[in-house]
Amino acid sequence: MDQKEFRVLIKLTYELNTLTNLILIGDCNAHIGEAQVLPAQLLNQSQCALAKKRRSKDSKIDSRGKQFLEMCEDENFVILNGRTLNDQSGEYTYISKVGCSVVDFCCVTTPCLPFVHDFKVLADTFSDHMPITLQLSTGMKHYEENLTPLLPKLIWVQKNEEVYQSRLEQDLNMTVCNGSVKEEVEHLLSCIKRAAENRKGGNPTHRQ
Protein backbone atom coordinates (compact mmCIF):
# COMPACT_ATOMS: atom_id res chain seq x y z
CA MET A 1 0.00 0.00 0.00
CA ASP A 2 1.53 3.31 -1.07
CA GLN A 3 0.97 6.70 0.56
CA LYS A 4 -1.93 7.62 -1.74
CA GLU A 5 -3.74 4.34 -1.02
CA PHE A 6 -3.11 4.82 2.70
CA ARG A 7 -4.74 8.26 2.62
CA VAL A 8 -7.74 6.75 0.81
CA LEU A 9 -7.99 4.08 3.53
CA ILE A 10 -7.95 6.68 6.30
CA LYS A 11 -10.56 8.80 4.51
CA LEU A 12 -12.82 5.81 3.85
CA THR A 13 -12.64 4.72 7.48
CA TYR A 14 -13.78 8.13 8.68
CA GLU A 15 -16.60 8.17 6.11
CA LEU A 16 -17.88 4.82 7.42
CA ASN A 17 -18.02 5.99 11.02
CA THR A 18 -21.82 5.70 11.05
CA LEU A 19 -21.48 1.91 10.84
CA THR A 20 -20.84 0.17 14.15
CA ASN A 21 -19.55 -3.25 13.06
CA LEU A 22 -16.46 -2.81 10.93
CA ILE A 23 -13.50 -5.10 10.23
CA LEU A 24 -10.29 -3.77 8.73
CA ILE A 25 -7.84 -6.45 7.62
CA GLY A 26 -4.88 -6.47 5.24
CA ASP A 27 -1.59 -4.81 4.32
CA CYS A 28 -1.44 -1.28 5.74
CA ASN A 29 2.32 -0.80 5.28
CA ALA A 30 2.52 0.89 8.67
CA HIS A 31 4.72 0.16 11.69
CA ILE A 32 2.99 0.51 15.06
CA GLY A 33 5.28 -1.43 17.42
CA GLU A 34 3.40 -2.62 20.51
CA ALA A 35 1.17 0.44 20.72
CA GLN A 36 -2.48 0.46 21.83
CA VAL A 37 -3.28 -0.62 25.38
CA LEU A 38 -6.94 -1.44 25.99
CA PRO A 39 -8.81 -0.34 29.12
CA ALA A 40 -9.72 -3.25 31.38
CA GLN A 41 -13.32 -2.05 31.48
CA LEU A 42 -13.68 -2.53 27.72
CA LEU A 43 -12.39 -6.10 27.89
CA ASN A 44 -14.68 -6.93 30.81
CA GLN A 45 -17.74 -5.52 29.06
CA SER A 46 -17.05 -7.32 25.78
CA GLN A 47 -16.18 -10.60 27.55
CA CYS A 48 -13.50 -11.40 24.98
CA ALA A 49 -10.26 -13.29 25.59
CA LEU A 50 -7.89 -10.57 24.42
CA ALA A 51 -4.75 -9.27 26.07
CA LYS A 52 -4.86 -5.74 27.42
CA LYS A 53 -1.40 -4.98 25.98
CA ARG A 54 -0.22 -6.00 22.55
CA ARG A 55 3.02 -7.83 21.78
CA SER A 56 4.93 -7.52 18.52
CA LYS A 57 8.14 -8.87 17.05
CA ASP A 58 8.41 -5.56 15.20
CA SER A 59 9.12 -2.72 17.65
CA LYS A 60 9.36 0.01 15.01
CA ILE A 61 6.87 2.89 14.93
CA ASP A 62 6.89 5.19 11.90
CA SER A 63 4.90 8.26 10.84
CA ARG A 64 2.35 6.20 8.94
CA GLY A 65 1.98 3.97 11.98
CA LYS A 66 1.19 7.02 14.11
CA GLN A 67 -1.51 8.04 11.63
CA PHE A 68 -2.90 4.52 11.70
CA LEU A 69 -3.00 4.49 15.51
CA GLU A 70 -4.72 7.88 15.54
CA MET A 71 -7.36 6.55 13.14
CA CYS A 72 -7.91 3.50 15.37
CA GLU A 73 -8.30 5.76 18.39
CA ASP A 74 -10.77 8.07 16.64
CA GLU A 75 -12.90 5.29 15.15
CA ASN A 76 -12.75 2.81 18.07
CA PHE A 77 -10.76 0.15 16.22
CA VAL A 78 -9.06 -2.53 18.31
CA ILE A 79 -5.90 -4.00 16.78
CA LEU A 80 -5.92 -7.79 17.22
CA ASN A 81 -2.31 -8.50 16.22
CA GLY A 82 -0.31 -9.61 19.23
CA ARG A 83 -3.16 -9.95 21.70
CA THR A 84 -4.96 -13.22 20.84
CA LEU A 85 -4.37 -16.82 21.93
CA ASN A 86 -2.70 -17.80 18.66
CA ASP A 87 -0.73 -14.59 18.21
CA GLN A 88 0.61 -13.91 21.67
CA SER A 89 4.04 -12.88 20.36
CA GLY A 90 2.85 -10.64 17.53
CA GLU A 91 4.25 -12.70 14.67
CA TYR A 92 5.86 -11.16 11.60
CA THR A 93 3.40 -10.69 8.74
CA TYR A 94 6.00 -9.72 6.14
CA ILE A 95 9.11 -11.86 5.62
CA SER A 96 11.60 -11.25 2.82
CA LYS A 97 15.33 -11.32 2.15
CA VAL A 98 15.57 -7.63 3.08
CA GLY A 99 13.94 -8.02 6.49
CA CYS A 100 10.87 -8.89 8.53
CA SER A 101 8.10 -6.69 9.89
CA VAL A 102 4.51 -6.50 11.09
CA VAL A 103 2.62 -4.39 8.55
CA ASP A 104 -0.53 -6.46 7.94
CA PHE A 105 -3.19 -5.86 10.56
CA CYS A 106 -6.60 -7.04 11.63
CA CYS A 107 -8.72 -4.46 13.44
CA VAL A 108 -12.33 -4.56 14.57
CA THR A 109 -14.56 -1.89 16.05
CA THR A 110 -15.42 -2.35 19.72
CA PRO A 111 -19.00 -3.66 19.09
CA CYS A 112 -17.39 -6.61 17.23
CA LEU A 113 -15.24 -7.68 20.19
CA PRO A 114 -17.77 -10.16 21.67
CA PHE A 115 -17.67 -12.06 18.37
CA VAL A 116 -13.87 -12.33 18.12
CA HIS A 117 -12.81 -15.93 18.68
CA ASP A 118 -9.21 -15.84 17.46
CA PHE A 119 -6.68 -14.20 15.19
CA LYS A 120 -3.48 -15.71 13.86
CA VAL A 121 -0.73 -15.37 11.28
CA LEU A 122 -0.33 -18.43 9.08
CA ALA A 123 3.13 -19.75 8.17
CA ASP A 124 2.51 -20.01 4.42
CA THR A 125 5.26 -18.80 2.11
CA PHE A 126 3.58 -18.39 -1.28
CA SER A 127 4.04 -14.63 -0.79
CA ASP A 128 6.27 -12.24 1.17
CA HIS A 129 3.13 -11.36 3.12
CA MET A 130 1.91 -14.10 5.44
CA PRO A 131 -1.84 -14.81 5.41
CA ILE A 132 -3.64 -13.43 8.45
CA THR A 133 -6.94 -14.92 9.58
CA LEU A 134 -9.75 -13.78 11.83
CA GLN A 135 -12.14 -16.30 13.36
CA LEU A 136 -15.52 -15.02 14.53
CA SER A 137 -18.14 -16.71 16.69
CA THR A 138 -21.45 -15.60 15.24
CA GLY A 139 -23.70 -18.53 16.15
CA MET A 140 -24.38 -19.15 12.46
CA LYS A 141 -24.18 -22.61 10.92
CA HIS A 142 -20.79 -23.42 9.42
CA TYR A 143 -20.62 -24.68 5.85
CA GLU A 144 -17.59 -26.53 4.52
CA GLU A 145 -16.36 -25.37 1.13
CA ASN A 146 -13.98 -27.00 -1.29
CA LEU A 147 -11.63 -24.20 -2.28
CA THR A 148 -9.57 -24.26 -5.45
CA PRO A 149 -5.85 -24.07 -4.57
CA LEU A 150 -3.84 -21.10 -5.80
CA LEU A 151 -1.74 -21.47 -8.92
CA PRO A 152 2.03 -21.48 -8.40
CA LYS A 153 3.69 -18.23 -9.42
CA LEU A 154 4.79 -18.42 -13.06
CA ILE A 155 7.37 -16.10 -14.57
CA TRP A 156 6.03 -14.21 -17.58
CA VAL A 157 8.59 -13.94 -20.40
CA GLN A 158 7.41 -11.39 -22.94
CA LYS A 159 9.31 -12.93 -25.86
CA ASN A 160 7.46 -16.24 -25.33
CA GLU A 161 4.03 -14.62 -25.52
CA GLU A 162 3.13 -16.12 -28.91
CA VAL A 163 4.40 -19.57 -27.92
CA TYR A 164 2.34 -19.51 -24.73
CA GLN A 165 -0.78 -18.31 -26.57
CA SER A 166 -0.40 -20.99 -29.24
CA ARG A 167 0.03 -23.77 -26.67
CA LEU A 168 -2.94 -22.62 -24.63
CA GLU A 169 -5.25 -22.34 -27.66
CA GLN A 170 -4.15 -25.75 -28.93
CA ASP A 171 -4.72 -27.41 -25.56
CA LEU A 172 -8.14 -25.81 -25.10
CA ASN A 173 -9.24 -26.76 -28.62
CA MET A 174 -8.11 -30.37 -28.23
CA THR A 175 -10.01 -31.04 -25.02
CA VAL A 176 -13.67 -30.65 -24.18
CA CYS A 177 -14.93 -30.49 -20.62
CA ASN A 178 -18.65 -30.59 -19.92
CA GLY A 179 -18.47 -31.22 -16.19
CA SER A 180 -19.26 -29.11 -13.16
CA VAL A 181 -17.99 -25.58 -12.62
CA LYS A 182 -15.24 -26.94 -10.36
CA GLU A 183 -14.14 -29.41 -13.06
CA GLU A 184 -14.16 -26.66 -15.68
CA VAL A 185 -11.96 -24.45 -13.48
CA GLU A 186 -9.53 -27.31 -12.78
CA HIS A 187 -9.36 -28.05 -16.51
CA LEU A 188 -8.58 -24.42 -17.35
CA LEU A 189 -5.89 -24.23 -14.66
CA SER A 190 -4.23 -27.40 -15.94
CA CYS A 191 -4.20 -25.97 -19.48
CA ILE A 192 -2.59 -22.76 -18.24
CA LYS A 193 0.04 -24.72 -16.33
CA ARG A 194 0.89 -26.93 -19.32
CA ALA A 195 1.12 -23.91 -21.61
CA ALA A 196 3.66 -22.32 -19.27
CA GLU A 197 5.87 -25.39 -19.07
CA ASN A 198 9.51 -25.06 -19.95
CA ARG A 199 10.12 -26.49 -23.43
CA LYS A 200 13.36 -28.22 -22.46
CA GLY A 201 12.74 -29.48 -18.94
CA GLY A 202 9.00 -29.95 -19.16
CA ASN A 203 8.51 -28.29 -15.77
CA PRO A 204 6.74 -25.01 -15.13
CA THR A 205 9.05 -22.08 -14.51
CA HIS A 206 8.30 -20.92 -10.96
CA ARG A 207 9.42 -17.72 -9.32
CA GLN A 208 11.59 -18.52 -6.32
Q: Which domain holds residue 40?
A: 1-138
Q: Which residue has the higher pLDDT, 143 or 91?
A: 91
Number of domains in the chain: 2
Is residue 200 predicted with pLDDT exceeding 80?
no
Q: How confident is the model at residue 201 (pLDDT cuts 50, 70, 90)?
A: very low
Tell me, yes or no, whether 133 and 155 share the same domain: no
131 and 152 in a single domain? The answer is: no
Task: Indicate whether 168 belongs to any domain.
Answer: yes
Residues 71 and 166 in one domain: no
The answer to whether position 204 is within a domain reads no
- Are residues 157 and 133 both part of a single domain? no
pLDDT at residue 90 above 50? yes
- Kindly state whether residues 72 and 163 are assigned to the same domain: no
Identify which of 100, 90, 86 has the alpha carbon closest to the alpha carbon of residue 134. 86
Look at residue 99 in the predicted model and tell me its pLDDT: 93
Q: Do 159 and 73 lie in a common domain?
A: no
Residues 132 and 155 in one domain: no
Same domain, 47 and 129: yes
Specify the pLDDT at position 148: 59
67 and 8 fall within a common domain = yes
Does residue 186 form part of some domain?
Answer: yes
pLDDT computed for residue 5 by the predictor: 77
Structure confidence at residue 66 (pLDDT): 95
| pLDDT at residue 207, as a whole number | 45
Q: Is 125 in the same domain as 183?
A: no
Q: What is the CATH number of the domain that holds 78?
A: 3.60.10.10
Out of 91-100, 101-110, 148-157, least confident range: 148-157
**Segment 118-161, tens digit of pLDDT:** 999 998 777 899 999 999 987 766 555 666 566 566 666 778 78
Residues 6+ apart with CB under 8 A from 120: 84, 86, 87, 91, 132, 133
The verdict on 133 and 158 lying in the same domain is no
Residue 54: name the closest of 77, 25, 22 by CA: 77
Domain membership flag for residue 74: yes
Same domain, 130 and 176: no
Query: Which of 151 and 98 is assigned the larger pLDDT?
Result: 98
pLDDT tens per residue, range 153-190: 666 677 878 888 888 888 877 766 677 777 777 777 78
Nearest to 207 by CA among 147, 126, 99: 126
User: pLDDT tens, 13-66?
Assistant: 777 767 778 999 999 999 999 999 999 999 888 888 899 999 999 999 999 999
Q: Is the pTM of this model over 0.75?
A: no
What are the φ and ψ backbone dihedral angles of 184, each rounded to 5 degrees?
A: -65, -45
